[in-house]
Structure 1
Amino acid sequence: MAFLMSEPIFFKTPDTVSLSKIADWAEADIVRGSADIEILGVAPVEDADAGSLVFFDNTAYLDKLSGTAAAACLVAEKHAAKVPEGVAVLVCREPYRAWAKVLAQLFPDAVVPAYGAGSGVSERAVVEDGALLEDGVVVEAGAFVSKGAEIGSGTVVRANAVIGAGVRIGRDCVIGANSTVQFALLGNCVYLHPGVCIGQDGFGYAMGPGGHLKVPQIGRVVVQDDVEIGANTTVDRGANRDTIIGEGTKIDNQVQIGHNVVIGRHCVIVSQVGLSGSCTLEDYVAIGGQTGVRGHVTIGMGAQVAAVSVVNTDLDAGGRYGGTPAKPVKQWFREVAAVRKLAERGGGT
């Protein structure tokens, strides 16, 4: 059977907007070019045309910037002179953050993509008696909301999501398709991507030669305001106290968060990180992908851990760490260099 596959356009082309409006959104100053220049869209620097807005924030792309045909460029003051003649210059403190603000204005549907039209509770959803939904809640087809659950206005429960008994979900949240939320309290503006599992029992067993006895997990998960959790991430409920994710924290796809973990405010956790039970991340911690953190350790405020590391002892606040086991990056780099020299000296034998 033959069919025609037309090119899908998932995000509508934005309306034309003036450069002055772009500057307002980006909190930028126009230092070259007319405020009346019309911006027709956005593009990477190498693909831009005469109506495009671009940004520059990484000198690795300097050769691409030099040949850009863009109408205008968001750039830090230190790089403004590198923007070629004929391209309007908007100077801002942090070009990437400014770019994010502009994109949010031009493509609001990309911030929280819609899966389908409609409002209210779908006829094909199940909301049990005793669940409390404020006005403006959307529950899509196939979703299940258990008795005793409470959901705030503006929250969207996507298709086939399951909300457990007694769960509290704040306002303006998104519960992604095929997600499950149980034994949990979620604040406002929490965004769960598809397949997130929150509140299942943690991995707790009293081991013994005759078999491993399951330990009931009687804690909760508490997710504070403005947290985003990536697809297929799992957050176990506490064993005998709460698992906590602090305000503003951003978690990537396929992260495992064990029972009793405490994550502070505004942390960043990249994909495939594993946080073992009862570890603590203080505020503003950043952890690179595929890093493992041992149970009962504490990572101090503002510390950064490189990807593919193993954290098995406490890490001081504000430091930069990496390796297996994780250590200060300068020490890690010295050790890597020393091993390389030994290998070269041995001639590969």
Structure 2
Amino acid sequence: MGDPRFFAEPQPVRASDLAELTGSELHGDGSRELNGIGPLERAGRSDLSFLDNKAYAGDFRTTRAGACFVSPDLAGEAPDGLTLLVSREPYRAFAVAAARLFPAAMRPEPIFEGVGVAPGATVHPRARLEAGVIVDFGAVIGDGAEIGSGTIIGANSVIGADVRIGRDCAVGANATVVHALIGNRVILHSGVRIGQDGFGFAMGPRGHLKIPQIGRVVVQDDVEIGAGSCLDRGGTRDTVVGEGTKIDNLVQIAHNVVIGRHCVIVSQAGISGSTTLGDFVVVAGQAGLVGHIEIGAGTQIGAQSGVMNNVPAGQRLAGSPAQPVRDHMREVAFVRKMVRDARARGPRSGNSGEEQ
């Protein structure tokens, strides 16, 4: 149900083909053709939808969608006539199918409709671009930069000298990438800033002396970085983002930070210098991590948490200063009880002395 002005209506795909693509079990009419996606309450007969949360079971029972991915335990609540694609991971299967229908929505697309270098773009004579690279209007590619085939460099973006960008990447409009090595299939959304100075100063009573930042940013394969996020280059070491990690919009990653594989960093989070995150760490929105600490693999850090110390693997933290979620919730409950009790007692009496 996308706007056709922005995302062209795809060619219809049969439900049976999507079942095969996703490894789902087909129940119902496999010949049904689908050419759109939509939520359960709005989807029409040619739309594909999904259900993976019992809270939306009511919408599922009345949906008019043509086909729906659903888990085995909820499949029995389907309305008559709905083609089911039964999967133990319905949302993941839906993601695969939706990407098949709308591939243009998967990464930033160029304004330039050709292949190669658009008019008004500047590519240094010593830059090396493999076949199939698109350099959009106004983009600048620096001396010695290397860009792999299938990569898109968005309008007015700047790729600095000697930067390496792998194959099948997408760099959105107005991004800057300097002092960096970028892997394959990396997506950098509009306005991303990679490789600028880290915030390094020798502080003192005579003023703050700037320290040269001579490291790099290394972004491994299949990383996605949201609009307006900043990754500072290292001071004397590299800033590293591990493969498969997803970084939301407006995230700050400081110098020398090392982020493991398949981490998730949500909007407005900030990670201070020289902090290390293990694999599969989740940092929720507006959380802040101080510098020079280690966060163990699989740890989940709640929104607006302030993390000030090393964290073992597999923890769930909340609050500021951050602590285990259960401890945080007990403290919140205790404070609320104190407030209720104080209100029940009523206002305290004033000065007991009487005017003479």
Say whether the fold is shared (TM-score over 0.5).
yes
Q: How does 1:192-207 map to 2 (within 5 A)?
A: 192-207=188-203
In the alignment, structure 1 residue 92 sits paired with structure 2 residue 87? yes
| C-alpha distance in 1 between matches for 2:132 and 2:84 | 42
In the alignment, structure 1 residue 212 sits paired with structure 2 residue 208? yes
Please name the residue that 2:168 is paired with: 172
| C-alpha distance in 2 between matches for 1:18 and 1:131 | 45
From the CA coordinates, give the structure whose radius of gyration is larger.
Answer: 2
In the alignment, structure 1 residue 262 sits paired with structure 2 residue 261? no
Q: Offset at 1:39?
A: 2.3
Q: Is the 8 A contact 1:73 1:83 kept in 2?
A: no
Please name the residue that 1:322 is paired with: 318
Please name the residue that 2:235 is paired with: 239
In the alignment, structure 1 residue 35 sits paired with structure 2 residue 19? no
**79-88 or 151-160, larger mean C-alpha shift:** 79-88
| C-alpha distance in 2 between matches for 1:80 and 1:310 | 42
Q: Offset at 1:325?
A: 1.1
Please name the residue that 1:156 is paired with: 152
Distance change in 2, residues 1:150/1:50 (3 Å)? closer
Please name the residue that 2:15 is paired with: 19
* RMSD of equivalent CA atoms: 1.4
SS of the residue 2:116 aligns to? coil
Q: Offset at 1:142?
A: 0.7
Q: Is the 8 A contact 1:253 1:272 kept in 2?
A: yes
**258-267 or 312-321, larger mean C-alpha shift:** 312-321
Please name the residue that 1:4 is paired with: none
Identity of aligned residues (%): 55
SS of the residue 1:47 aligns to? coil
Aligned length: 342
Distance change in 2, residues 1:128/1:113 (3 Å)? closer
The TM-score with structure 1 as length reference comes to 0.95
Q: Offset at 1:8?
A: 5.9
| C-alpha distance in 2 between matches for 1:259 and 1:123 | 36
Distance change in 2, residues 1:257/1:213 (3 Å)? same
Please name the residue that 1:76 is paired with: 71
Deviation digits for residues 143-198 of structure 1 (CA, Å, limit 9, x no counterpart): 11111111111111111111111111111111111111111111111110000000
Structure 1's unaligned 5+ residue stretches are 1-6
Q: Is the 8 A contact 2:109 2:152 kept in 1?
A: no
Match 2:297 to one of 301, 309, 314: 301
Deviation digits for residues 48-74 of structure 1 (CA, Å, limit 9, x no counterpart): 222222111112212222211122211
In the alignment, structure 1 residue 101 sits paired with structure 2 residue 105? no
| C-alpha distance in 2 between matches for 1:52 and 1:122 | 37
**233-242 or 152-161, larger mean C-alpha shift:** 152-161
Please name the residue that 2:309 is paired with: 313
| C-alpha distance in 1 between matches for 2:152 and 2:31 | 39
| C-alpha distance in 1 between matches for 2:154 and 2:205 | 45
